[in-house]
Amino acid sequence: MQLLAPLPTSEPGNPPRSSALSLMGWIYLKQWRTLSLSALSGLLWMGLFASMPFVIGRAIDQGISEGIGPSLWIWGAVFLGLAYCAWQFTYWMTYLDFYNSTAMGMRVVQLINRHAGHTGAALPTKISTGEVVAAGNIDARSIGESCFFLARAVGGIVFFLVVAAIMYRITPLLGLVVLSGLLLQAIVLGPLLSPLQKRVLRYREQEGHLTALAQDIVAGLRVLRGIGGEAHMSQRYRDQSAQLRHYGNRSATAFATISGLEAFVPGLLLVAVIWVASAEAINGALSPGQLVATFGYAAFLWLPMVIFSIIATRGTVAYAAAKRVVRTLQVQPAIDDSHDGPPVEPGALVDPDSGFEARNGAFTALTGTNAADLADICDRLARYTDTNASLGHRRLDEYRLDEVRAHVLLATNELALFPGTLRQAIDPSGTSSDAEILAALHVAAAQDAIDSVGGLNGDIAPGGRNLSGGQQQRLKLARALVANPPVLILLGPTTAMDSSTEALVAQRLRAFRQDQTTIVVTSSPVLLDAADTVAFMVEAHLKDTGTHRTLWATNPSYRHLIDRTHHTTPPAVEDSEDQNR
């Protein structure tokens, strides 16, 4: 078995989600092999440093009693050997610390990324995007860094007690002073850790809010400039930034106080040990070598005490970070996918809650008085939420979720365009030929978008910022068409297009999706007229169905909706071919 496995690991595992403490314990157990090796190296490293005062003391005593002779050279060689070994162990211990820290942090990132993909649309309804980003970045790093001084801490605990015992044997008063110093450190630092944790949590929350606000501003910068909202959003960002700075200053105050005490308490112990040792030497209780060794032991004790303080501080920050990660991991998917099911069978797609039905292989338009109600219907038809909708002769929730996702695709304008080439943006899976990609782009009337980026190998900026709103919408439509699912649901696919482009897309879309189930949510007369059937919804329930021209002629509410939305002229009266389409 390879001891230092390549990072990241292929499978991060399934952590407990009940508490931050259980999560951190699970993460540490996942790294137990390399953490144990790191702790062993830290134990030996600390032991080497703890041995140096003893060696120096013996060398001095031998030099005083025997002069410069073989014994002095032997003890000198032993000291150099200890120093060399300490140097080697410092290298390997630091290497292992970096490996463990990176591995633990990357495991947290993997857990959050996997959970975000699993929960899907449910996650942003519970936790802001900024908080999720912070959990997968700052909090993951904080959890990883909590182990960085763990190896030194293990050795520090053991050899702090060993040195205390040695000094107690030299003189009991010295041993009591050393143990009193450790107790004083616990008494002084302990009460400060809980306020630090609360301040760090509050700071992390504000940091997540600011990150989310920054993402919203960047994503909507073009719109903000168009409506003159830059100044308002800039002021909101400054206000949020000032609030973050306020909580940052409070956290920094706590960190500074603890950092000061990290130096003060060990320094106080050092002074106390030197004082007592000097008094004992004056009284003749200590030899010159023992006195020098005691000074060395006192200097050594400063190291583990500082490490204990650092571990306590980093552990507190990591615990606060783990709380945020657990909060993210506790978000449950909006739908249950814990069971197997039969393969998806073709048939009509029906939403009994609203009364909507899309016939198998038909081009169906969905329109209504409330856009939010139409979006909810689409979510149910695509099984983005718990649903009673059915496909064929079975309810959607009887099928496996991945089967439903492969069979039914819901494409909305809110979906992102990822950076990369135009080919990658349209065909993320890389399974379609250039001819298929160009055919989908042709249906979406996206030739100008192809030209603007320089062809299929042209670059798309993050979020499609180098494209106009209309170009982005057409590329998203082309991406949905390249996927070519048996059931395609398009939510407002032409809202950013002009009327001539919209008419072209409607004509091509109907031909491209012939004999495949297509549902278009729209109030565009052009798309409505291209549909086999139009379903007119009022207050989330089916009010009427028919062709666009039939509904226009017979339903005043429908006519009022379309006329109010598009100020359209009445369509020509249907001929027999329209009625039989």
Residue 34 CB coordination number (10 Å): 19
Identify the pLDDT of residue 361.
94
Per the CB < 8 A criterion, the answer to whether 399 and 477 are in contact is no
Check pLDDT > 60 for residue 253.
Answer: yes
Identify the pLDDT of residue 580.
35
Identify the pLDDT of residue 482.
96
**The 533-538 sheet, strands edge to edge:** 408-411, 487-491, 517-521, 363-368, 533-538, 541-546
Domain ranges of the chain: 20-329, 349-579
DSSP assignment of 360-418, as one string? TT-EEEEEES-HHHHHHHHHHHTTSS----EETTEEGGGS-HHHHHHHEEEE-TTSPPP
Confidence of residue 547 (pLDDT cuts 50, 70, 90): very high
Per the CB < 8 A criterion, the answer to whether 328 and 115 are in contact is yes
**Parallel/antiparallel/unpaired status of strands 349-351 and 356-358:** antiparallel
DSSP assignment of 308-319, as one string? HHHHHHHHHHHH
Confidence of residue 1 (pLDDT cuts 50, 70, 90): very low
Residue 546 β-bridge partners: 534
Cα separation, 347 vs 129, whole angstroms = 37
Amino acid of residue 474: R
Identify the pLDDT of residue 575.
40
Rg of the chain taking only CA atoms, in angstroms:
35
**131-145 pLDDT per residue, tens:** 787 788 888 988 998
334-348, 367-381, 486-500, 550-564: which range is least confident on average? 334-348
Check pLDDT > 70 for residue 79.
Answer: yes
Cα separation, 225 vs 12, whole angstroms = 43
pTM of the model: 0.68
**339-372 pLDDT per residue, tens:** 677 888 889 999 999 999 999 999 999 999 999 9
% of residues, the chain, pLDDT over 90: 34
Mean pLDDT of the chain: 85
**272-292 pLDDT per residue, tens:** 888 888 887 888 777 777 777
**161-178 pLDDT per residue, tens:** 888 888 888 888 878 887
Going by the DSSP 8-state scheme, the letter that residue 429 receives in this structure is T
426: nearest Cα among 437, 416, 414, 410: 437
Per the CB < 8 A criterion, the answer to whether 322 and 20 are in contact is yes
Confidence of residue 571 (pLDDT cuts 50, 70, 90): low
Check pLDDT > 90 for residue 479.
Answer: yes
Average pLDDT over residues 227-251: 84
Identify the pLDDT of residue 176.
85
State which fold the 20-329 domain adopts: ABC transporter transmembrane region fold (1.20.1560)
Identify the pLDDT of residue 339.
66
Identify the pLDDT of residue 554.
94
Cα separation, 249 vs 247, whole angstroms = 5
Check pLDDT > 60 for residue 529.
Answer: yes
Check pLDDT > 80 for residue 548.
Answer: yes
More confident residue, 349 or 50: 349
Average pLDDT over residues 446-471: 88
Q: What are the structure tokens assigned to 218, written together?
A: 């960047």
**182-233 pLDDT per residue, tens:** 788 778 877 887 787 788 778 877 877 787 778 777 766 666 676 777 787 8
More confident residue, 535 or 253: 535
C-alpha torsion angle, residues 118, 121, 126, 127 (rounded to 10): 80
Check pLDDT > 60 for residue 249.
Answer: yes
Residue 363 β-bridge partners: 518
Identify the pLDDT of residue 574.
43
Place of tokens 């615990």: 319
Identify the pLDDT of residue 152.
79
**91-117 pLDDT per residue, tens:** 888 888 899 999 999 999 999 999 888
Check pLDDT > 80 for residue 492.
Answer: yes
More confident residue, 484 or 289: 484
Q: How far is C-alpha 390 from the geometric centre of its chain's CA atoms?
A: 34
Confidence of residue 576 (pLDDT cuts 50, 70, 90): very low
Identify the pLDDT of residue 578.
40
Phi, psi for residue 399 in degrees, rounded to 5: -90, 160
Identify the pLDDT of residue 338.
64
State which fold the 349-579 domain adopts: Rossmann fold (3.40.50)
* Neighbouring residues of 32: CB distance < 8 A, sequence distance ≥ 6: none
Cα separation, 541 vs 533, whole angstroms = 16
Identify the pLDDT of residue 136.
83
Check pLDDT > 60 for residue 154.
Answer: yes
**Parallel/antiparallel/unpaired status of strands 408-411 and 487-491:** parallel
Average pLDDT over residues 545-563: 92
23: nearest Cα among 433, 412, 322: 322
* Neighbouring residues of 257: CB distance < 8 A, sequence distance ≥ 6: 192
Cα separation, 521 vs 528, whole angstroms = 9
Quote the Cα angle for 119-133-401, to 5°: 15
Identify the pLDDT of residue 177.
83
